Amino acid sequence: MENQSTTTVKDSVYQILRENGICKVFGNPGSNELNFLKDFPDDFEYILCLHEGVAIGMAEGYAQASGLPGFVNLHAAAGTGNAMGALSNSVNSHVPLVVTAGQQARTMVYSDPLLKNSAASMLPLPLVKDSYEPLSAQEVPHAISRALHCAMSPARGPVYVSIPYDDWDKHIADDARLLSTRRVVHFGAPGIDDIQPLLDALEQASSPVLVLGPEVDAQCCNHKATQLAEQLHAPVWVAPSAPRCPFPTNHRCFAGILPAGEASLAQKLSDHDLIVVIGGPVFRYHQNDPGNILPDGARLILVTGDAQEAARAPVGNAIVANVDAVLSYLLEHGVRKTGDCPDFRKPIQRHEIDQSPLQPSAIFDIVESIAPRNTTYLNEATSTIATLWERVTMVEPGSYYFAAAGGLGFAMPAALGVKLANPDRPVVAFIGDGSAHYSITALWTAVRYRLPVVFVIINNSGYGALKWFSHQFKTHNVPGIEIEGVDFVRLAEGYGMKALRVSTCIEFSQAFDSAISDASPVLIEAMIESV
């Protein structure tokens, strides 16, 4: 007979979380989760979100900004279903999350009761790295430990665990207590022989170009990418639909963000014979823009820590290794061009701050002139993505986050998670008026936990991105893309948040200047012309 201790499953799990640096639980609980939450430990904080998608989004922002796994507490199948749209962003962003959901009690699950999570481990697939329901209460601590280490292993991502609610008070075997001290360390440094083909290609190239993806920012090796660009005298493009900013946007080598269509992307790279993609997919398209993936005569080499991205790339050779380690090798052993590095930046004309009506470019110019340089930006005004990248300076790691799968409802809760992880950095979230409705309850959580985020609702009375696509597709008279009559100021005030509406450049400048230094969350509804 197993040697039982006085430690319960719940005690063991909380200790595992402690030893792994996890002290926050993001969730929206139900009856199946109460046994886990009762007598909640004093050294933990429960962050209540009013919708499961907000809980995932907030945990994702926290995990990306802190580097720690986010721990999420959902309710059975219904709560999991509500969270799955947000999980699509998390899996594409390679965000380490442990997502738990309460299952009905083992003693009654045979009778198919209400709130039973049928085929629980199948439900969240394929939006998680792993999904599991322990076969016994004794297995629960092992399942949580495995989920943590799986979530943090390359390439990182969310893991799901379904837990019957009568397991938490069961006693565990003595050896389960050893789980809290387990450590799993990952090494991905290549040898010089592995890198030599890339070094040779850079040596032979007459016009190399770098395309950087989110892994560079996630590993905080942006400065190494900057040094490499300077060393090669190479322009740097950011991979299309970028969920993070891997390169300083004010640097002379910054060429911009690539478009998300085959022909248009290849045209941007047409002057180059070698394309080196570091830390991003090849390529994540969005628009239906048929064409050749690469310019004529160009070759491509991908460096990524994600073996699946390397396998699915439709062109080029790939090196699966730690991106930071590869950048170090390239800096030490690679080509060093002499002379002055060219300036690849695109010149822009800035707006005057006057009584003229607002437009997105003016909003970003005003933010650029006022926000501190260490500000973190989140963007879910999807029709303004290219404009933001052109006009807002982002220098430090962790300066920008975007929904990696394009799932709306990400930016508002993620902004709260980022602020929770980095309380000393200002956080600004740009939200479209269409996007805002997907996670509007995040405003309540912002007020409840006093998280001073500035929410800028860019209101053009509809889904601007869909209007753009309707023009591109020549699909006219489409229903469901106009949204009128919503008062975001009153919505925010209903959640207890300070809010105001502006429509001119000078009004926005004054409102944003006040909001960025406020100790409370603030919403600014910026009215722009409908497109």
Which are the catalytic amino acids? 30-31, 33, 52, 75, 286, 406
Closest listed residue to residue 428, CA positions, set 341, 512, 303, 365: 512
Closest listed residue to residue 328, CA positions, set 403, 227, 429, 398: 227
> 53 — phi, psi (to 5°)?
-65, -35
For residue 56, give the H/E element and its range. Answer: helix 52-66
**How is residue 518 written in tokens?**
């406020």
Give the CA distances from residue 248 to residues 12, 129, 224, 441, in Å, rounded to whole numbers and listed in that order. 44, 31, 11, 33
102 beta partners: 163
Task: Using CB atoms within 10 Å of the CB of residue 192, give its burial: 0 to 12 exposed, 13 to 18 middle, 19+ buried.
Answer: exposed
Cα diameter, the chain = 80
Axis-axis angle for helices 505-515, 360-370 (nearest 10): 40
Closest listed residue to residue 160, CA positions, set 86, 253, 110, 263: 86
The pairing of beta strand 254-257 with beta strand 236-238 = parallel
Q: What is the C-alpha end-to-end distance of the chain, expressed in Å?
A: 72
CA distance 305 to 325: 10
Assign residue 235 a region (left: φ > 0; alpha: ψ between -120 and 50; beta: otherwise). Answer: beta
Amino acid identity for residue 109 in this structure: V
**How is residue 40 written in tokens?**
């909640």
Quickly tell me which residue has 């997919």 as its tokens: 281
The three-state secondary structure class of 300 is strand
CA distance 365 to 369: 6
Axis-axis angle for helices 9-19, 140-152 (nearest 10): 20
Closest listed residue to residue 99, CA positions, set 18, 159, 29: 159
Give the CA distances from residue 269 to residues 272, 341, 376, 427, in Å, rounded to whole numbers and listed in that order. 6, 18, 29, 33
**How is residue 293 written in tokens?**
């993936």
**How is residue 317 written in tokens?**
């050779």
For residue 158, give the H/E element and its range. Answer: strand 158-164
CA distance 14 to 419: 24
8 A C-beta contact, residue 319 and residue 296: no
